[in-house]
Amino acid sequence: MSVTLQVTSEVLDVRRAGSYFVISLTAPGIAEVAKPGQFITIAMGGEESSMMLRRSFAIHQVQSRGVYGGTLDIVVSVHGKGTKWLSERRRHDTLAVVGPLGTPFSLPKSPVSCVIVGGGYGSAPLFVLAEQLRDRGCRVDAVLGASTEEKLFGVLELKRLATAITVTTDDGSTGIKGNVADVLPELIDRVNADVVYACGPMGMLAAVAEISTRKRVFSQCSVEEAMACGIGVCMTCVLPVIGDDGITRMVRSCTDGPTFRGDRVRWADVGTVPEDTYGAPVSGVRS
Amino acid sequence: MSRALFVKPSSSSGPALSVDMTASFAGLELPSPMLTASGCAAAGKELDAFFDITAIGGVVTKSIMMQPRSGRATPRMAETPSGMLNSIGLQGPGLERFIEEDLAWLNNRGARTIVSIAGESAEEFGKIAQRLRNVGGFDAIEVNISCPNVADRGQVFACNPVTAAQVIQSVKRNSDARTPIFAKLSPDVTDIVEIADSVIKAGATGVSLINTLLGMVIDPVTMRPALAGVTGGLSGPAIRPVAVRCVWSVRQAFPDVPIIGMGGIRSGADALEFILAGANAVSVGTSIFNDPSAPFRIHGELQLALAEHGFSSLQQAVSYAHRPADTTREVPITSEQSSDDDWDFISE
């Protein structure tokens, strides 16, 4: 992996977007080299904070040049003490940032047909991806899904970037009533998709991967696993993934991921250690 | 071990940034007392992206077992006030791949290395030690007899003086006589001094204090245990007073036994606390997750703190909190104090 930096960032802007907050921050040296699908980690609550674990955020937008040098945007969904603290930051506050981290999406060499699928604010890393796919002459069709309208993220923005966009909500408050899995099969067929890129909750990724594999379409899924360190040392963010040699291993979402081939993750077994995993306990003797 | 007499250090020259940070103990001579805590730094490679891994005292590697090990199911961690619970379950590549990849990388990089080993029986510990002796390329062994994340609590060898001694004997028998052996102890015992006594008699060169405390969190939403493994090891600043107490007690009982102190060290002031309580070196663990540069940063902060207190070397500060009450005034020594009340430092 390329250079990873630890920097003090300055908050430039915090704004609401539906249920979420979009935070712009300076990230000199990070914004310039970040690739689509990579993430940053941010320490919560300042130097004396009782929150010891960093939170990870997909890099949403990047601007490599400007008044502030390299800047980037993240999307924050408040669901705990840390993210609440982060959403309360204001312009000129500083943040301890590490990045860019993780394995990015891999991009096609030729102008193929791509479908990008985002669940909730999982769409955050897909914007830069869509841009780069368009730059390569790819057709980009987008599907954004969420439980309800205000939990969708970036519909208007993505409308500009994608060739076409489909929106689903579980409650039918906007777009098609249902979820992304309901519309994906037909879309893959209609646009003759070669690649599906997805980011969102585990259940959605499992469905997207299953549909893609069934339709013999290559899929890349970016997982949202809880991480303690984000840099590959703590071994908390593991999930069972099949390697090139056909062997399942517990691999790290932070460094081996967060982007995985959809057909390699054992989605149904996430949260467990399958019996045939490399180094798995023998008949439950070990833990 | 040479230890300072209990004399107030010189403070005439103000903060001396040239504080000698050499940590000499157990036959080791490290340029810094800062180590990484086992299980919080993998084998050093990832952290080398954030600071020069050869600039700190050394890397204590994640506990390695003979066979590859998948570890436990997820969730494996839960954040707690000023700390975290982990339930990794000693995931690792197995000894041979560790030797081929991790140990080779550390040697290539020129990093001082303390290999942490774990086993399910005294024999397994011995076999690992034997294989490591044949391979070489490390500075010491830390024997993890206190990992709480095993299915059978009977496997926490460090909870029993007899089983703890058996493991240490097995490692000692199978190691080069010159290899320092540190027994990593659990605070989850009635009397940690008794366990320390037992492992020292069994041949441990020194002790590493402390491993995590067994803890548990119930998720208020699911109303079930937050960890897949139900219980986990508590680490981070929350456990620091427990760790300092353990270092203090063992130091008091064994004035000359090498001690590596750890448990929630986040700043130079925290590290100094352990040194003053009797640690010869300190490991930084959970704080690495908060700040990947922590071991390197804390080295600088500790050096500054030592200078501010008028110490000219790290060695002078080791166990300094144990000095008799009548040998010094109770006010902290500051650089502003006049030089006429300086005492000469005497060491033996």
Q: What pLDDT shows up at residue B207?
A: 98
Q: Quick check: B340 pLDDT over 60?
A: no
Q: Do B292 and A6 touch (CB under 8 A)?
A: yes
- Quick one: what percent of chain B has pLDDT higher than 70? 86
Cα separation, B94 vs B68, whole angstroms = 4
pLDDT of A214-226, one tens digit each?
999 999 999 988 8
Q: Is B159 a catalytic site residue?
A: no
* A238 and chain B in contact, CB less than 8 A: yes
Task: Quickly tell me which residue has 């469905």 as its tokens.
Answer: A207
Cα separation, A29 vs A6, whole angstroms = 10
Task: Quickly tell me which residue has 């000095």 as its tokens.
Answer: B323
User: Cα–chain-centroid distance for residue B338?
Assistant: 37
B140-144/B113-117 β-pairing: parallel
Mutate to test the interface with B, among A49, A233, A247 (most CBs of B within 10 A): A233
Residue of B nearest to A238 (CA): B74
Closest to B297 in 3D by CA, of B101, B30, B32? B32
Which chain B residues contact residue A279 at CB under 8 A?
67-71, 91-92, 94
Structure tokens at A155: 């519909």
- Domain of A141, CATH number, reads 3.40.50.80
Q: What is the ipTM score, two decimals?
A: 0.93
Q: What pLDDT shows up at residue B34?
A: 98
**Residue in A52, A234, A235 nearest the CB of B236:** A52
Question: Within chain B, where are the H helices?
Answer: 95-97, 104-109, 122-135, 161-173, 192-201, 240-253, 268-277, 287-290, 294-308, 314-317
Cα separation, B267 vs B55, whole angstroms = 17
Q: What pLDDT shows up at residue B343?
A: 42
Q: What pLDDT shows up at residue A68?
A: 72
* Rg of chain B (C-alpha set): 20
Q: Quick check: A284 pLDDT over 60?
A: no
Which chain A residues contact residue B72 at CB under 8 A?
273, 287
Structure tokens at A56: 């990870």
pLDDT of A195-206, one tens digit each?
999 999 999 999
Task: Quickly tell me which residue has 């909870």 as its tokens.
Answer: B159
Q: Which of B40, B147, B159, B246 is the catalytic position?
A: B147
pLDDT of B283-339, one tens digit each?
999 999 999 999 999 999 999 999 999 999 999 999 999 999 866 555 445 444 444
pLDDT level of residue B147 (50, 70, 90 thresholds): confident
Please confirm whether the linkage preceding B75 is cis (ω < 30° from 0).
yes
Q: Quick check: A262 pLDDT over 80?
A: yes
* B162 and chain A in contact, CB less than 8 A: no
- What DSSP string runs through chain A? ----EEEEEEEEEEEEETTEEEEEEE-TTTTTT--TT-EEEE--S-TT-S--S-EEEE--EEE-SSTTSSEEEEEE---SHHHHHHHT--TT-EEEEEEEESBPPPPPSS--EEEEEEEGGGGTTHHHHHHHHHHTT-EEEEEEEESSGGG---HHHHHHHSSEEEEEETT-SSSEES-HHHHHHHHHHHHT-SEEEEES-HHHHHHHHHHHHHTT-EEEEE-----SSSSSSS--SEEEEE-TTS-EEEEETTTT-BEEETTTB-GGGTTS--TTSTTPPSTTS--
Average pLDDT over residues B273-290: 98
* A247 and chain B in contact, CB less than 8 A: no
Q: What pLDDT shows up at residue B341?
A: 42
pLDDT of B212-226, one tens digit each?
999 999 999 999 999
Q: Are residues A165 and A232 in the same domain?
A: no
* A33 and chain B in contact, CB less than 8 A: no
Cα separation, A168 vs A181, whole angstroms = 10
Average pLDDT over residues B243-270: 98
- What DSSP string runs through B157-204? GGGSHHHHHHHHHHHHHTS-TTS-EEEEEPS-SS-HHHHHHHHHHTT-
pLDDT level of residue B346 (50, 70, 90 thresholds): very low
Q: Do A273 and B73 touch (CB under 8 A)?
A: yes
Q: Domain span at residue A112? A: 105-224
Q: Is the domain B33-74+87-214+234-290 a CATH 3.20.20.70 member? A: yes
Q: What pLDDT shows up at residue B327?
A: 61
Shortest distance between the Cα of A105 and any Cα of chain B, in A, equals: 21
**Residue in A255, A280, A285 nearest the CB of B70:** A280
Shortest distance between the Cα of A180 and any Cα of chain B, in A, equals: 26
- Domain of A69, CATH number, reads 2.40.30.10
Q: Are residues A24 and A65 in the same domain?
A: yes
Between B128 and B16, residue with greater pLDDT: B128
Cβ contacts of residue A147 below 8 Å, gap of 6+? A120, A169, A170, A171
Shortest distance between the Cα of A62 and any Cα of chain B, in A, equals: 23
Q: Are residues A232 and A209 in the same domain?
A: no
Cα separation, A168 vs A176, whole angstroms = 5
* A277 and chain B in contact, CB less than 8 A: yes
Structure tokens at B86: 């982990």
Cα separation, A134 vs A163, whole angstroms = 9
Cα separation, B325 vs B320, whole angstroms = 11
Q: Do B3 and B25 contact (CB within 8 A), yes or no?
A: no
* B347 and chain A in contact, CB less than 8 A: no
pLDDT level of residue A66 (50, 70, 90 thresholds): confident
Which chain B residues contact residue A257 at CB under 8 A?
none
Q: What pLDDT shows up at residue A67?
A: 74
Q: Which of residues 188-217 of A touch B (CB under 8 A)?
A: none
Closest to A207 in 3D by CA, of A128, A119, A135? A119
Q: Would you give the DSSP letter of residue B98? A: I
Q: Which of residues 90-119 of A touch B (CB under 8 A)?
A: 96, 98
User: Cα–chain-centroid distance for residue B73?
Assistant: 27
Cα torsion through A119, A120, A125, A127, rounded to 10: 90
User: What is this structure's pTM?
Assistant: 0.91
Shortest distance between the Cα of A251 and any Cα of chain B, in A, equals: 9
Q: How many CA atoms lie within 13 A of A144 on its CB side?
A: 27
Average pLDDT over residues A67-86: 92
Q: Which amino acid is at A153?
A: F
Other Cβ atoms within 10 Å of A192 Cβ, number:
10
Q: What pLDDT shows up at residue A287?
A: 41
Q: Are residues A153 and A219 in the same domain?
A: yes
Mean pLDDT, chain A, rounded, equals 94
**Residue in B42, B81, B293 nearest the CB of A50:** B81
Q: Would you give the DSSP letter of residue B82? A: T
pLDDT of A118-145, one tens digit each?
999 999 999 999 999 999 999 999 999 9
Q: Do B74 and A239 touch (CB under 8 A)?
A: yes
Q: Do A101 and A44 contact (CB within 8 A), yes or no?
A: no
Average pLDDT over residues B189-209: 97
Q: Quick check: B131 pLDDT over 90?
A: yes
Q: What pLDDT shows up at residue A283?
A: 55
Q: Quick check: B105 pLDDT over 50?
A: yes
Q: Are residues A181 and A264 in the same domain?
A: no
Residue of A nearest to B82 (CA): A50
Average pLDDT over residues B36-58: 97
Q: Quick check: B153 pLDDT over 90?
A: no
The region of weakest confidence among A133-137, A144-148, B151-155, B238-242 is B151-155
- Quick one: what percent of chain A has pLDDT higher than 90? 91
User: Where is the domain boundary, A101, A136, A169?
Assistant: A101
Mean pLDDT, chain B, rounded, equals 90
pLDDT level of residue A285 (50, 70, 90 thresholds): very low
Q: Would you give the DSSP letter of residue B69? A: B
Q: Do B111 and B54 contact (CB within 8 A), yes or no?
A: yes
Cα separation, A125 vs A127, whole angstroms = 6
Q: Do B209 and B261 contact (CB within 8 A), yes or no?
A: yes
Which chain B residues contact residue A42 at CB under 8 A?
none
pLDDT level of residue B93 (50, 70, 90 thresholds): very high
Cβ contacts of residue B67 below 8 Å, gap of 6+? A279, B94, B95
pLDDT level of residue B16 (50, 70, 90 thresholds): very low
pLDDT of A25-34, one tens digit each?
999 999 999 9
Please confirm whether the linkage preceding A258 is cis (ω < 30° from 0).
yes
Cα separation, A241 vs B183, whole angstroms = 35
Q: Are residues A13 and A88 in the same domain?
A: yes
Average pLDDT over residues A261-285: 89
Q: Are residues A235 and A213 in the same domain?
A: no
Shortest distance between the Cα of B3 and any Cα of chain A, in A, equals: 34
Q: What pLDDT shows up at residue A226?
A: 87
The region of weakest confidence among A39-43, A76-80, B17-21, B246-250 is B17-21
Q: Which of residues 281-320 of B touch A (CB under 8 A)?
A: 286-293
Please state the domain count of chain A. 3
Q: Quick check: B4 pLDDT over 50?
A: no
Report the side by side order of strands in the sheet with B113-117: B34-36, B281-284, B259-262, B206-209, B181-185, B140-144, B113-117, B59-60
Cα separation, A224 vs A202, whole angstroms = 7
Q: Are residues A120 and A218 in the same domain?
A: yes
Q: Do B28 and B140 contact (CB within 8 A), yes or no?
A: yes
A20-26/A113-119 β-pairing: unpaired
Q: Do B60 and B211 contact (CB within 8 A), yes or no?
A: no
Which chain A residues contact residue B293 at CB under 8 A?
6
Q: Are residues A133 and A197 in the same domain?
A: yes
Shortest distance between the Cα of B103 and any Cα of chain A, in A, equals: 16
